[in-house]
């Protein structure tokens, strides 16, 4: 543990920080909470006052979402790809995108192209006898051999790479990256016009499927969000009495700091998580939901400091487990949970990297539920560092280092090859500057 005074105003008490996972977590959590509480108190406000300010801000949005639903309106912003490409997205649409922190891009790809990609993926895995060789979930020791997965640990198909390096993807990623504030204090925190290729998996959930979905959670980190110096600076306004200035779109100090390792970690800084639909999906067929309020992160960060939470508990957040949003601690936020509207193959879906999300359960699913996970991950020191291991995984056909070490594609001859990279692909892997 080290103490620092680099977290904003020098007149406030400094915060301890741990740049690697503390050995004694309960003690570190207790120490951290006392220090954060003392820092807020020294600003002249109480923790309760600061929390009430963010609670009111978020509560107004929860009420607005409920009212929109009652009027039968679609809560998720929807923007046509054609308007993004032409630069004709209205100021009103932009404001709503930033207010809700999520987006459906209609017609991001032609429907026929997306359906053809879906077929290509089936050909790719079948031609390489993937289902016969599938060993079960890579992170589940007792995984059942031979069962057909819904999440395919496949990264290097032509379909995925063609989508990742397409001009249409780059256009939408740049549009989304530009919603953030990426320059401050003379630092450019990331390059909004250049993405780093973040290889992720695909999901193909068949007709008739039953799925329990995924509970409400978020993916930006775990205890490192409170305990590392870079995140303490990123979330400085929450802890120095200036909570009203907290801006979920400010990238300051978010793109270079360390992260605590864990089975669910993402090495990249993503402005938005996202996926591209490879089948049509109706809104009631086990789809993605978010709490479409980017400021809710302030609530999640401050909630553990209130007196009703045990001293060594961060509302259930701990290392090596996904960050939960729970009825116990966050019930008023969860009232805002809102699903995507119906989407067609070729539409894409995006949500701010700090936002609570879940996947609804489904019984006897109508139609397929197929997606390629492709986020927006702009070029920055963190993503440049990860790009070198991504390049290596790409060249050898291996699983990327953020994912289980399954490596199904190493011997597959028809995976996407280095010579198939275009200019966007080469830059996104750091092959070219
Ligand atoms: Fe997630």
What string of pLDDT tens digits covers the 433 residues of the chain? Answer: 666 544 555 689 999 999 999 999 999 999 999 999 999 999 999 999 999 999 999 999 999 999 999 999 999 999 999 999 999 999 999 999 999 999 999 999 999 999 999 999 999 999 999 999 998 887 654 444 446 789 999 999 999 999 999 999 999 999 999 999 999 999 999 999 999 999 999 999 999 999 999 999 999 999 999 999 999 999 999 999 999 999 999 999 999 999 999 877 899 999 999 999 999 999 999 999 999 999 999 999 999 999 999 999 999 999 999 999 999 999 999 999 999 999 999 999 999 999 999 999 999 999 999 999 999 999 999 999 999 999 999 999 999 999 999 999 999 999 999 999 999 999 999 999 9
Ligand 1 centroid distance, CA of 152 (Å): 16
pLDDT of residue 143: 44
Contacts of 224 (CB under 8 A, 6+ apart): 231, 258, 259, 260
Ligand 1 centroid distance, CA of 431 (Å): 29
pLDDT of residue 137: 81
Sort residue 131 into left (φ over 0), alpha (ψ -120 to 50) or beta: alpha
Ligand 1 centroid distance, CA of 30 (Å): 27
Ligand 1 centroid distance, CA of 127 (Å): 30
- How far lies 211's CA from each of 12, 365, 369, in Å? 49, 9, 11
Ligand 1 centroid distance, CA of 221 (Å): 11
Written in H, E and C, the secondary structure of 248-303 is CCECCCCCCCCCCCCCCCCCCCCCEEEEEECCCECCCCCCEEECCCCCHHHHHHHH
Query: Which segments of 206-263 are extended strands (E)?
Result: 214-218
Measured distance CA(240)–CA(253) in Å, rounded: 16
pLDDT of residue 138: 73
DSSP symbol at 178: T
Element holding 101 (H helix, E strand) = none
Measured distance CA(410)–CA(399) in Å, rounded: 9
DSSP symbol at 215: E
Ligand 1 centroid distance, CA of 217 (Å): 6
Q: pTM of the predicted model, to two decimals?
A: 0.96
What ranges in 303-411 are assigned the alpha helix state H? 327-334, 381-396
pLDDT of residue 1: 65
Ligand 1 centroid distance, CA of 274 (Å): 10
pLDDT of residue 10: 60
pLDDT of residue 142: 45
Residues with CB under 5 A from ligand 1 (ion): 219
- How far lies 356's CA from each of 162, 243, 249, in Å? 29, 20, 15
pLDDT of residue 371: 98
pLDDT of residue 125: 97
Ligand 1 centroid distance, CA of 337 (Å): 14
């Amino acid at each position: 543990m080290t103490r620092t005074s680099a977290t904003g105003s020098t007149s406030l008490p400094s915060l301890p920080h741990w740049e690697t996972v503390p050995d004694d977590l309960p003690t570190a959590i207790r120490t951290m909470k006392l220090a954060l509480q003392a820092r807020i108190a020294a600003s002249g406000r109480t923790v309760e006052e600061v929390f009430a300010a963010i609670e009111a801000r978020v509560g107004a949005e929860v009420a607005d979402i409920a009212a929109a639903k009652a009027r039968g309106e679609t809560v998720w912003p929807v923007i046509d790809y054609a308007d993004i490409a032409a630069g004709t997205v209205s100021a009103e649409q932009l404001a709503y995108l930033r207010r809700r922190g999520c987006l459906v891009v209609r017609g991001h790809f032609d429907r026929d192209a997306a359906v053809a990609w879906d077929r290509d993926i089936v050909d790719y895995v079948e031609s390489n006898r993937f289902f016969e060789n599938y060993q079960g979930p890579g992170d589940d020791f007792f995984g059942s051999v031979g069962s057909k997965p819904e999440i395919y640990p496949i990264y290097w198909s032509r379909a995925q790479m063609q989508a990742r390096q397409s001009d249409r993807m780059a256009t939408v990623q740049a549009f989304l990256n530009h919603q953030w504030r990426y320059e401050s204090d003379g630092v450019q925190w990331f390059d909004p016009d250049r993405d780093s290729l973040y290889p992720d998996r695909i999901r193909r959930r068949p007709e008739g499927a039953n799925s329990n979905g995924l509970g409400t959670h978020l993916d930006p980190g775990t205890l490192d969000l409170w305990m590392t110096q870079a995140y303490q600076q990123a979330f400085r306004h929450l802890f120095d009495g200036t909570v009203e200035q907290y801006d979920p779109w400010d990238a300051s100090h978010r793109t270079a700091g360390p992260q605590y390792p864990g089975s669910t970690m993402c090495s990249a800084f993503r402005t938005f998580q996202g996926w591209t639909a490879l089948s049509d999906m109706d809104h009631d067929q086990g789809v993605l939901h978010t709490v479409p309020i980017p400021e809710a992160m302030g609530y999640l960060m401050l909630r553990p400091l209130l007196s009703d939470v045990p001293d060594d508990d961060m509302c259930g957040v701990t290392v090596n487990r996904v960050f939960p949003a729970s009825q116990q601690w966050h019930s008023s936020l969860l009232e805002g949970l809102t699903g995507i509207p119906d989407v067609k193959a070729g539409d894409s879906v995006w949500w701010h990297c700090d936002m609570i999300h879940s996947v609804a359960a489904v019984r006897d699913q109508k139609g397929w539920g197929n997606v390629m996970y492709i986020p927006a991950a702009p070029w920055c020191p963190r993503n440049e560092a990860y790009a070198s291991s991504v390049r290596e995984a790409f060249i050898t056909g291996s699983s990327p280092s953020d994912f289980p070490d399954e490596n199904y594609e190493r011997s597959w001859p028809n995976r996407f090859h280095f010579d198939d990279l275009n200019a966007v692909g080469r830059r996104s892997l750091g092959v070219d500057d």
